[in-house]
């Protein structure tokens, strides 16, 4: 407001001076000289224009300050998608590419991710990973139009939002929701999701599959004698031992307590029987060592499955493998039983 008052007084005094000089000091003829009035009108008109469009307002200055000091990298493009400006945060990402000695376009930026230009064109955003000072950071790049008051497109703005911490937290939460916290293998909920999907595909393709369910024999004694911390360590080591023996297609999960389950893709019950026997034998011959104490452990296994076409449900095969497991338990433990 003070700026506008000063400009107004300056313009007013200038106009008054023109009127006095040309009208009273330098009278030329009896007729009125139009120059002081036209000059006054011109200056007043300029002032109105400056006032109306806020030429002396601090807002543009504030915008520039926010743009250059923003933590988010910001890149300005013209209507041809050529970079014409960038703030300091953006220069940290693209480095010398934004020295404007070479032409940098939206396409060049999007090439940092395969298919990036198509993704941005369709969605007006994309996620990309960028190396910043030797560290990989994840950014969500948003493309926003720059539109004038007359609704004309004047350019575009790329805003990069650092989502590294958010992405890491989401991955952490996904891991917690996917894996058993103790054994680091799949939990029961995710086993149902993945195994049932694989089961449905096997039914459609008429391919073989199988289930292996097993339970650690007399595991309560381990907790009672050595304590729950040792028991937890035994469970973790056992899960690692079996994970290394199972192939990559096997879906291995903690079913609950000391009970575990495996879904084998494209392996029928006879192959599952061999796999279960191999797991049983490796556990029987493995010693868990804690504080110079060696702990032996065995498990009972139940197997079910199909060599191809079947009309049984996913739940039915789960129950059959559970029934086979308890057959092995009642037959003396540390053995494999199968239901076909």
User: Which positions are catalytic?
Assistant: 258
CA 255 to CA 188: how far, in whole Å? 5
φ, ψ of residue 282 in degrees (nearest 5): -65, -35
CA 114 to CA 112: how far, in whole Å? 7
Q: Is 275 helix (H, G, I), strand (E, B) or coil?
A: helix
Tokens 């923003």 -> residue: 70
CA 221 to CA 203: how far, in whole Å? 41
Tokens encoding 227? 């304590």
Tokens 């999960």 -> residue: 253
Instruction: Choose among 148, 147, 137: nearest CA to 53.
Output: 148
CA 190 to CA 213: how far, in whole Å? 16
Tokens encoding 303? 């197997």
DSSP-derived secondary structure for 150-215: TS-EEEEEEEEEE-HHHHHHHHHHHHHHHB-TTT-SB-HHHHHHHHHHHHHHHHHHT--EEEEEEE
Which positions ≥6 away from 248 have C-beta within 8 Å?
Answer: none
CA 10 to CA 23: how far, in whole Å? 20
CA 18 to CA 16: how far, in whole Å? 5
């Amino acid at each position: 407001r003070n700026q506008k008052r000063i400009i107004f007084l300056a313009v007013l005094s200038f106009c008054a001076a023109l009127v006095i000089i040309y009208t009273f000091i330098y009278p030329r003829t009896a007729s009125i000289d139009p120059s002081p009035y036209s000059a006054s009108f011109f200056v007043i008109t300029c002032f109105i224009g400056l006032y109306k469009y806020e030429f002396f307002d601090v807002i543009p200055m504030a915008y520039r300050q926010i743009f250059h000091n923003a933590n988010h990298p910001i890149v300005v493009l013209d209507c041809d998608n050529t970079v014409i400006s960038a703030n300091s945060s953006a220069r940290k990402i693209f480095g010398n590419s934004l020295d404007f000695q070479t032409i940098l376009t939206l396409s060049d930026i999007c090439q940092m991710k395969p298919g990036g230009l198509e993704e941005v064109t369709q969605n007006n955003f994309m996620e990309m990973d960028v190396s910043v000072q030797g560290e990989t950071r994840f950014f969500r790049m948003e493309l926003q139009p720059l539109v004038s008051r007359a609704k004309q497109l004047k350019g575009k703005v790329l805003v990069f939002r650092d989502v590294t911490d958010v992405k890491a937290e989401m991955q952490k939460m996904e891991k917690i929701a996917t894996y058993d916290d103790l054994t680091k293998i799949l939990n029961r909920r995710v086993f149902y999701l993945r195994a049932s999907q694989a089961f449905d595909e096997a039914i459609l393709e008429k391919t073989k599959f199988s289930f292996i369910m097993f339970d650690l024999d007399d595991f309560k004694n381990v907790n009672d004698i050595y304590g729950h911390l040792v028991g937890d360590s035994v469970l973790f080591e056992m899960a690692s031992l079996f994970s290394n023996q199972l192939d990559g297609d096997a879906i291995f999960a903690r079913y609950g307590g000391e009970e575990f389950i495996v879904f084998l893709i494209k392996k029928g019950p006879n192959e599952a029987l061999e796999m279960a026997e191999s797991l049983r034998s490796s556990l029987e011959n493995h010693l868990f060592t804690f504080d110079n104490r060696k702990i032996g452990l065995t498990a009972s296994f139940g197997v079910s499955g199909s060599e191809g076409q079947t009309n049984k449900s996913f739940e039915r095969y789960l129950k059959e493998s559970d029934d086979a497991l308890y057959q092995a338990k009642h037959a003396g433990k540390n053995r494999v039983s199968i239901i076909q």
